[in-house]
Amino acid sequence: MTSAIVMPKLGLTMTEGLLASWRVGPGDDVQTGDVLFVVETEKIATEVAAQGPGRVERIVVSAGDVVPVGAVVATWTGEGGADQPLPEAGPAPSTDTPAAGPVDREVAPQGGGRIIATPLARRIAREGGIELSLLSGSGPRGRIKAADVTAALGRRGQVAAPAAPQTVNAAAPTSMPPGGKRRPASAIEKVVARRLTAAKQEIPHFYVLAEADVTRLLSLREELNTAPDAPRISLTHFVVAAVGRALARMPEMNVVWTEDCVEELHATDVGVAVDTPRGLLVPMVRNVAALSIDATARTMSAAVEKTREGRLAAEDLAGGAISVSNVGMFGASHLVPIINPGQSSILGVAAVKPVFRPDASGAPALRQEAGLVLSCDHRVLDGVKAARFLDLVTKLLQQPLALLRA
């Protein structure tokens, strides 16, 4: 029986996705778990796998198209298809991402005022040379969606795919030295590269540094980890707990810049940078200020496991104003991180090192300190707020008993 393969809903707020690439073609036999295509949303590239064995009959949507959730992208014979009306037969779209050319900017004008558009729509518009101010959005309150941008491209005889970003004065590719090789970047690598490049170019970063005395914290951690039934506590767990509590005490840090306005967040969500074979991903730990240190450890461990197994949904990466990235296990003295797009700050944590500091009597005392660097978005934060916040985080780490309870 022929059934439909549809664009999946990968998160609670997802309404459309960019079908980045096909991994199969018409006539291909697939087994359960085989990757069919890659979907790119605003924050992540996700591989969509077959839910059962079958054969791909027809590709309905070309690579590079923006597709609404639930829309048919292909038909197949086998198990795991969706009960959807099948489209009429027509020319098979290409499974290769098409190249885009120049575009005419004269599109139906939108009324004056602030432009409301999804990040994916903004990216496609920027890469395709479309002025968002000239578009009418089909979303709530006139919000411009990715489909609106691709429709404008199509009306001007343009393919519905984002143009490859133009590089100014780019050097020609050089020949590889002996023993070297080139490989195609994965979908996730492309998303990370594009987002972090945009973040560094568009976000005015500034940095605040501090040294946190974690001598008492490390002693407390060692004692906590002797309990047989309790989760293993790490320095990162304490740092995330401290950041969550600092956000609760300083809500002026829990803000992000979005579409020419400042968005004030209420939940004390904290992102955690996780290294995976597919690249660096940042899942969110929700409502950290309401969690005990044990609950923080369990929640973070589950998020890290889910990330490394490739089971993240778009919702797992959404939200939050701040993230934590710890490279201390690699011996780095300091980390100056790039702000995760959509957030306003990130805390880099470095290795713990022994130092001598004068005690109350002036005598040298051996202490354990970790280097902290807070990267901030100057559009919504200033040096005074950032310094106060980092000082609060440092003091919480120096008095770790306050982090044990919710």
SS3 content of the chain, % helix, strand, coil (to 5): 30, 25, 45
Which uninterrupted H or E stretch holds 369? strand 364-377
Q: Round to whole Å and give the CA distance between 328 and 308.
A: 20
Residue for token pair 């805390």: 347
List Cβ neighbours of 93 (8 Å cut-off, separation of 6 or more).
59, 60, 61, 62, 65
Q: Round to whole Å and give the CA distance between 307 and 311.
A: 6
Residue for token pair 């568009």: 202
Q: Round to whole Å and give the CA distance between 154 and 237.
A: 49
CA distances from 121 to 43, 268, 311 (A): 13, 28, 25
Return the C-alpha torsion angle 348, 354, 360, 361, nearest 10: -150
CA angle 94, 313, 119 (to 5 degrees): 65
Q: Round to whole Å and give the CA distance between 18 and 35.
A: 16
List Cβ neighbours of 393 (8 Å cut-off, separation of 6 or more).
212, 239, 242, 243, 246, 347, 372
Answer yes or no: 378 catalytic: yes
CA distances from 366 to 199, 354, 357, 394 (A): 40, 7, 6, 18
Q: Torsions phi, psi of 398, nearest 5?
A: -80, -15
Q: Round to whole Å and give the CA distance between 18 and 38.
A: 8
**Catalytic (active-site) positions:** 378
